Structure 1
Amino acid sequence: MRMMMRILLLVSAFNGLTQRAWCALTDAGHDVGVEIAPAFDTPEALTAAVAEADPDLILCPFLKHRVPEEVWGRWTTVVVHPGPVGDRGPSSLDHAILTRQERWGVTALSTVEEMDAGPVWATSTFPLPDVPVAKSALYNGPVADAAMACVTEVVRMVAAGEEPVPADDLPRDVPGTGELPLLRRPAFAVDWSLPVEELARRVAAADGAPGAPAEIAGERYCLFDAVATPEVLDPQAAPGAVVGRDVDAVALAATDGTLWVGYAATLGERRGTKLPARSVLDPHTASPRHDAPGELAECRYERDGDVGILTFRSYNGAMHTEQCRRLTAAVQAARLDDTAVLVLRGTDSLFSNGIHLGVIDAAQNPATEAWANIQAIDDLCEAIATADQLTVAAFTASAGAGGVMTALCADVVLSRDGVVLNPYYDMGIYGSELHTWSVEARVGQEVADQLLTGCLPVSAPRAADLGLIDGVGPRDAGEFDAWLAQRAAELVRPTERATAEQAARRRAPARPLSYHRTIELAEMARDLFDDRHGFAARRRGFLRKTAAAETPARLRFTTRSTAALAEVR
Structure 2
Amino acid sequence: MKILLLAHSFNSLTQRLFVELRGRAHEVSVEFDIADSVSEEAVALFAPDLIVAPFLKRAIPASIWQRHVCLVVHPGIVGDRGPSALDWAIMRGEQEWGVTVLQANAEMDGGDIWAQAVFPMRRAKKSGLYRNEVTSAAVRAVLEAIAGFGSGGTPLPLSLATNVRGTFHAPIGQAHRRINWSSDSSTAVLTKIHAADGFPGVLDSLFGVACYLYDAHAATRQAWATFADAAPGDVVARRDHAVLRRTADGAIWIGHARPVQTADDADKPLKLPVADWFAAQCAALPELPAPLMRPDAEWGELRYREEGGVGLLSFDFYNGAMSTAQCRRLREAVAFARTRPVRVLVLLGGEDFFSNGIHLNRIEASAHRSDDSAADESWRNINAIDDLTEEILTATDQITISVLRGNAGAGGAFLALASDLAWAHGGVVLNPHYKNMGNLYGSEYWTYLLPRRVGADAARDIISNRFPLSAQQACEIGLIDAVLAPEACGLEAQALRLAAELAASDDFAERLAAKRDRRRRDEAEKPLQAYRDEELLRMRRNFYGFDPSYHVARYHFVQKVPHAWTPRHLALHRVPRQKETGVAS
| TM-score grouping bracket, smaller chain normalisation | over 0.9
**Do 2:290 and 2:299's aligned partners in 1 also have CA atoms closer than 8 Å?**
no
Per the TM alignment, residue 34 of structure 1 is displaced from its structure 2 partner at its CA by: 0.5
Per the TM alignment, residue 58 of structure 1 is displaced from its structure 2 partner at its CA by: 0.4
Query: How does the TM-score come out when normalised to structure 1?
Result: 0.93
d(CA) in 1 for partners of 2:179 and 2:328? Answer: 33
**Do 1:415 and 1:472's aligned partners in 2 also have CA atoms closer than 8 Å?**
yes
> What is residue 250 of structure 2 aligned with on the other side?
257
Per the TM alignment, residue 125 of structure 1 is displaced from its structure 2 partner at its CA by: 1.0
> What is residue 566 of structure 2 aligned with on the other side?
551
Q: Name whichever of 207-216 and 133-142 sits farther off.
A: 207-216
The answer to whether the aligner puts 1:427 opposite 2:437 as a matched pair is yes
> What is residue 60 of structure 1 aligned with on the other side?
53
> What is residue 46 of structure 1 aligned with on the other side?
39
The residue identity in structure 2 corresponding to 1:146 is A
Q: Secondary structure at the match of 1:553?
A: coil
> What is residue 319 of structure 1 aligned with on the other side?
322
Per-residue displacement from partner, 1:200-233 (whole Å, max 9, x unpaired)? 1111011011111112332112111112336344
Q: Name whichever of 89-98 and 293-302 sits farther off.
A: 293-302
> Alignment partner for residue 280 of structure 1, among 265, 277, 280?
277
The answer to whether the aligner puts 1:452 opposite 2:463 as a matched pair is yes
d(CA) in 1 for partners of 2:86 and 2:551? Answer: 33
The answer to whether the aligner puts 1:34 opposite 2:30 as a matched pair is yes
> What is residue 464 of structure 1 aligned with on the other side?
475
**Do 1:185 and 1:210's aligned partners in 2 also have CA atoms closer than 8 Å?**
no
Per the TM alignment, residue 438 of structure 1 is displaced from its structure 2 partner at its CA by: 0.4
Q: Secondary structure at the match of 1:469?
A: coil
d(CA) in 2 for partners of 1:267 and 1:104? Answer: 32
Q: Name whichever of 159-168 and 235-244 sits farther off.
A: 235-244
> What is residue 386 of structure 1 aligned with on the other side?
394
> What is residue 91 of structure 1 aligned with on the other side?
84
The residue identity in structure 1 corresponding to 2:502 is L
Per the TM alignment, residue 408 of structure 1 is displaced from its structure 2 partner at its CA by: 0.8
> What is residue 188 of structure 1 aligned with on the other side?
177
Query: How does the TM-score come out when normalised to structure 2?
Result: 0.91
**Do 1:222 and 1:267's aligned partners in 2 also have CA atoms closer than 8 Å?**
yes
The answer to whether the aligner puts 1:103 opposite 2:103 as a matched pair is no
Structure 1 536/294 Cα, relative in aligned 2: closer, same or farther at 3 Å? farther
**Do 1:490 and 1:496's aligned partners in 2 also have CA atoms closer than 8 Å?**
no
Q: Secondary structure at the match of 2:354?
A: coil
d(CA) in 2 for partners of 1:402 and 1:503? Answer: 23
Per-residue displacement from partner, 1:14-62 (whole Å, max 9, x unpaired)? 1111000000000111100001002x3xx23421220111101101111
Per-residue displacement from partner, 1:57-108 (whole Å, max 9, x unpaired)? 1011111222111111111110000000000112001111111111111000
> What is residue 70 of structure 2 aligned with on the other side?
77
The within-5 A match list for 1:358-507 is 358-363=361-366, 364=369, 365-388=373-396, 389-425=398-434, 426-428=436-438, 429-492=440-503, 493-495=505-507, 498=510, 502=514
Q: Secondary structure at the match of 1:123?
A: strand
**Do 2:218 and 2:299's aligned partners in 1 also have CA atoms closer than 8 Å?**
no
Per the TM alignment, residue 556 of structure 1 is displaced from its structure 2 partner at its CA by: 2.1
The residue identity in structure 2 corresponding to 1:565 is G
**Do 1:243 and 1:287's aligned partners in 2 also have CA atoms closer than 8 Å?**
yes
Per the TM alignment, residue 238 of structure 1 is displaced from its structure 2 partner at its CA by: 2.7
Per the TM alignment, residue 339 of structure 1 is displaced from its structure 2 partner at its CA by: 1.7
The answer to whether the aligner puts 1:523 opposite 2:538 as a matched pair is yes
Q: Name whichever of 470-479 and 289-298 sits farther off.
A: 289-298
The answer to whether the aligner puts 1:227 opposite 2:237 as a matched pair is no
d(CA) in 2 for partners of 1:295 and 1:454? Answer: 42
> What is residue 204 of structure 1 aligned with on the other side?
194
**Do 2:91 and 2:192's aligned partners in 1 also have CA atoms closer than 8 Å?**
yes
**Do 2:19 and 2:470's aligned partners in 1 also have CA atoms closer than 8 Å?**
yes
Q: Secondary structure at the match of 1:90?
A: coil
The answer to whether the aligner puts 1:13 opposite 2:4 as a matched pair is no
> Alignment partner for residue 343 of structure 2, among 320, 331, 340?
340
The residue identity in structure 2 corresponding to 1:446 is D
Structure 1 402/531 Cα, relative in aligned 2: closer, same or farther at 3 Å? farther
Q: Secondary structure at the match of 1:393?
A: strand
d(CA) in 2 for partners of 1:458 and 1:330? Answer: 29
- Structure 1 stretches of 5 or more lacking a match? none
The residue identity in structure 1 corresponding to 2:412 is G
Q: What is the Cα-based RMSD across aligned positions, in Å?
A: 2.2
The answer to whether the aligner puts 1:565 opposite 2:582 as a matched pair is yes
Per the TM alignment, residue 188 of structure 1 is displaced from its structure 2 partner at its CA by: 2.0
Structure 1 563/257 Cα, relative in aligned 2: closer, same or farther at 3 Å? farther
Q: Name whichever of 482-491 and 521-530 sits farther off.
A: 482-491
Counting aligned pairs with the same residue, the percent is 38
d(CA) in 1 for partners of 2:579 and 2:245? Answer: 47
Q: Name whichever of 44-53 and 66-75 sits farther off.
A: 44-53
The residue identity in structure 2 corresponding to 1:553 is R
Q: Secondary structure at the match of 1:528?
A: helix
> Alignment partner for residue 334 of structure 2, among 331, 338, 349?
331
Structure 1 519/407 Cα, relative in aligned 2: closer, same or farther at 3 Å? same
The residue identity in structure 1 corresponding to 2:86 is L
Q: Secondary structure at the match of 2:569?
A: helix
Structure 1 533/503 Cα, relative in aligned 2: closer, same or farther at 3 Å? farther
**Do 2:468 and 2:584's aligned partners in 1 also have CA atoms closer than 8 Å?**
no
Structure 1 368/567 Cα, relative in aligned 2: closer, same or farther at 3 Å? closer
Per the TM alignment, residue 504 of structure 1 is displaced from its structure 2 partner at its CA by: 8.5
d(CA) in 2 for partners of 1:256 and 1:291? Answer: 22
> Alignment partner for residue 20 of structure 2, among 24, 27, 44?
24
Q: Secondary structure at the match of 1:494?
A: coil
Structure 1 357/185 Cα, relative in aligned 2: closer, same or farther at 3 Å? farther
d(CA) in 1 for partners of 2:510 and 2:554? Answer: 44
d(CA) in 1 for partners of 2:209 and 2:59? Answer: 38
d(CA) in 2 for partners of 1:268 and 1:279? Answer: 17
Structure 1 314/358 Cα, relative in aligned 2: closer, same or farther at 3 Å? same
Per the TM alignment, residue 490 of structure 1 is displaced from its structure 2 partner at its CA by: 2.8
Structure 1 179/279 Cα, relative in aligned 2: closer, same or farther at 3 Å? same
d(CA) in 2 for partners of 1:94 and 1:163? Answer: 31
Q: Secondary structure at the match of 2:582?
A: helix
